[in-house]
Amino acid sequence: MEKFDLVVIGAGPSGYAAAMRALDFKKKVLLIEKNKVGGAGVTNGALSSKTWWELSRETASFRKNLRRFNLQVPSINYKEIQEEVQRAVEERMSMLNEHMSFLRNTKGEKLLSFKTGTAKLIGQHQVQITNGHVKEVIETDYVILATGSRPRYLPELPIDEKIVLTSEGIEKLTDFPESMVIVGAGVIGCEYATIFSGFGKTKVHLIDKGDRILPFEDEDVVKVIERNMENNGVLIHRNSRLVRMEIKHGRVEYELEYNDSSKEVFNVEKALVSVGRIPNLEDLWDEDKVKINISKRGIEDNDTQTNIPNIFAIGDLTADISLVNVGELEGRYAVEKIFGNPARKLVYENISTIMFLSPEVAGVGLNEIHAREKGIDYKVVTLDYSCIPRAIAKRNTQGFIKLLVTNDAEMKILGMKVVGNHASSAIQAVALLISMDKGIEELAECVHPHPSITEGIQECVRMLMGKSTFKPSALKTRLSCRSNINGEYADIEF
């Protein structure tokens, strides 16, 4: 029986990162994957959908600027767009496989092994791998479970991945649908609404049970996103409940009931169901021999370690944040916990996030909703993109920067949100300061490249310190600096 120091089940972003980190410790590692290396982070998730978003954004920008050149809107070839997305996916998968192949075949200690098949824990230290009719059992000191997740199905909806789709079926479309309803107004649903409306070929409907999309986001962020969606033709069904969805004559008929009890029936070509994801836990272990604790949200873990000391769980299998960067962080941390001594505890407060909307939205730490829920008094400063030279130069001043700090002399950073062009590139310095539990002084005099979006962050900090170039009292529609104490706002005067 073959023996390993570590077996990683699942070669998605978190599992791949864990296996590579284990090689740093000179451990004998087996990585097992039943489908494709890269997982949903590459093949039908993060990379593919964000490539769609980039192409959609370019298309929308091109259409917007056609009148400058006195040109008509050209036709968009869906097949060419789809092939470009596939090329992006194949580039990433090819690199991952090439990298892994070299490590497996390099001279010296061949520490990395890779097997294709379905893995199942049949004991605390035994893993059975099934590939077709062939089964083998291997021995291991430690196991990391990283099998990821899949789209959640609602049993009352006729999901067939042809007419009523999830994010897995959406990749198999053969043309832009003339109309589409999206069930679920969370991040993924809103991203797909942005993508399809951006190409200008699909009338998008978005079902939202509340009075606004993205209920976990601050109202000022949501207003910008909703306005752009509706300007791009998206029909947002607010305060609505889906009571019926059927496939009729190859199309989708759905019925909504609104908060005032009125009902309305709609007919569209396709439907996309985006109501979250569920962990891939089925048949992952023999429940008579391996008793791993699970909850409704996934595997219960303590800093990636399950109730069985040598078995760890990472990525979408746990109840933590389901993001590629978080999964990779957890994978590396789990290996460090197994074979070393992590330099710091695994924390999620400084996790950077980005939503691929119009415009993009990036954030780190707390927003105002979460700060109020935690009962934290804070100061908040907001600066409009129209105050930033780089945004003016790009001829797109839509957006803003918002920075939250503690309402005391230290003014430690609680969180930041950036809405607009280059949002994702503007938050890393703040993420680092949050992780270091630092105040804002370090940002105030840092020399930023000019012109850049990050100059807006510096101006936010200087506003809080009472030494900004632009004074909030003079540009009240573009700048604000306020305190929130016990839920009550007050302008800060300098």
> What is the tally of structural domains in the chain?
3
pLDDT (0 to 100) of residue 106 = 73
Pick the last residue of a domain from 245, 275, 305: 275
pLDDT (0 to 100) of residue 48 = 92
pLDDT (0 to 100) of residue 108 = 55
Whether the predicted pLDDT of 193 surpasses 60: yes
Task: Say if residue 181 is in the same domain as residue 225.
Answer: yes
- Cα–Cα distance, 201 to 210 (Å, whole number): 27
Rounded percentage of the chain residues whose pLDDT exceeds 90 = 72
In terms of phi and psi (left: phi > 0; alpha: psi -120 to 50; beta: otherwise), the region of 170 is alpha
Task: Say if residue 9 is in the same domain as residue 140.
Answer: yes
Tell me if 300 is assigned to some domain: yes
Tell me if 364 is assigned to some domain: yes
115, with CB counted inside 10 A (0-12, 13-18, 19+), is middle
Q: To which residue do tokens 């789809």 refer?
A: 82
User: DSSP of 117-152, one letter per residue?
Assistant: SEEEESSSSEEEEEETTEEEEEEEEEEEE---EEEP
- Cα–Cα distance, 116 to 107 (Å, whole number): 23
Q: Which CATH number characterizes residue 271's domain?
A: 3.50.50.60
- Cα–Cα distance, 307 to 291 (Å, whole number): 8
CB proximity list for 11: less than 8 A, separation 6 or greater = 19, 31, 32, 33, 37, 38, 39, 114, 146
Task: Say if residue 477 is in the same domain as residue 383.
Answer: yes
Task: Say if residue 28 is in the same domain as residue 135.
Answer: yes
Task: Say if residue 89 is in the same domain as residue 135.
Answer: yes
Pick the last residue of a domain from 259, 275, 291: 275
Mean pLDDT in residue range 294-299: 89
Q: To which residue do tokens 């005099």 refer?
A: 445
Q: To which residue do tokens 């829920």 refer?
A: 373
Task: Say if residue 483 is in the same domain as residue 372.
Answer: yes
Task: Say if residue 289 is in the same domain as residue 231.
Answer: no
Structure tokens of 38? Answer: 């890269």
Tell me if 75 is assigned to some domain: no
Pick the last residue of a domain from 275, 296, 323: 275
pLDDT (0 to 100) of residue 441 = 78
Task: Say if residue 316 is in the same domain as residue 408.
Answer: no
Q: Which amino acid is at 143?
A: V
Structure tokens of 45? Answer: 């998730």
Tell me if 159 is assigned to some domain: no
pLDDT (0 to 100) of residue 107 = 54
H helices, E strands: number in the chain: 11, 26
pLDDT (0 to 100) of residue 241 = 95
Mean pLDDT in residue range 479-486: 92
Within 13 Å and on the Cβ side, how many CA atoms surround 153? 12
Mean pLDDT in residue range 46-55: 93
Provide the residue range defining the domain that includes 107. Answer: 3-44+83-150+278-339
The closest alpha carbon to 112, from 25, 14, 35, belongs to 25
Q: What does the pLDDT look like over 368-379, one tens digit per residue?
A: 999 999 999 999
Mean pLDDT in residue range 171-197: 95
Tell me if 292 is assigned to some domain: yes
Tell me if 365 is assigned to some domain: yes
- Count CB atoms within 10 A of the CB of residue 58: 11
Exposure string (b/e) for 69-103, b if CB count within 10 Å is 16 or more? eeeeeeebeeeebbeebeebbeebbeebeeebeeb
- The residues pairing with 4 across neighbouring beta strands, listed in sequence order, are 140
Q: What does the pLDDT look like over 398-424, one tens digit per residue?
A: 999 999 999 998 898 999 999 999 898
331, 14 Cβ separation under 8 angstroms: yes
Tell me if 55 is assigned to some domain: no
Q: Which CATH number characterizes residue 438's domain?
A: 3.30.390.30
Task: Say if residue 173 is in the same domain as residue 305.
Answer: no
Tell me if 289 is assigned to some domain: yes
Whether the predicted pLDDT of 205 surpasses 60: yes
Q: What is the pTM assigned to this prediction? A: 0.92
Label residue 494 by pLDDT band (50, 70, 90).
Answer: low
Task: Say if residue 179 is in the same domain as residue 321.
Answer: no
Whether the predicted pLDDT of 300 surpasses 70: yes
Q: What does the pLDDT look like over 88-139, one tens digit per residue?
A: 999 999 999 999 999 888 755 689 999 999 999 999 999 999 999 999 999 9
- Cα–Cα distance, 156 to 153 (Å, whole number): 9
Whether the predicted pLDDT of 148 surpasses 60: yes
Look over the chain and give the mean of its residue pLDDT values, rounded to a whole number: 92
Task: Say if residue 487 is in the same domain as residue 385.
Answer: yes
Task: Say if residue 418 is in the same domain as residue 290.
Answer: no
- Count CB atoms within 10 A of the CB of residue 104: 13
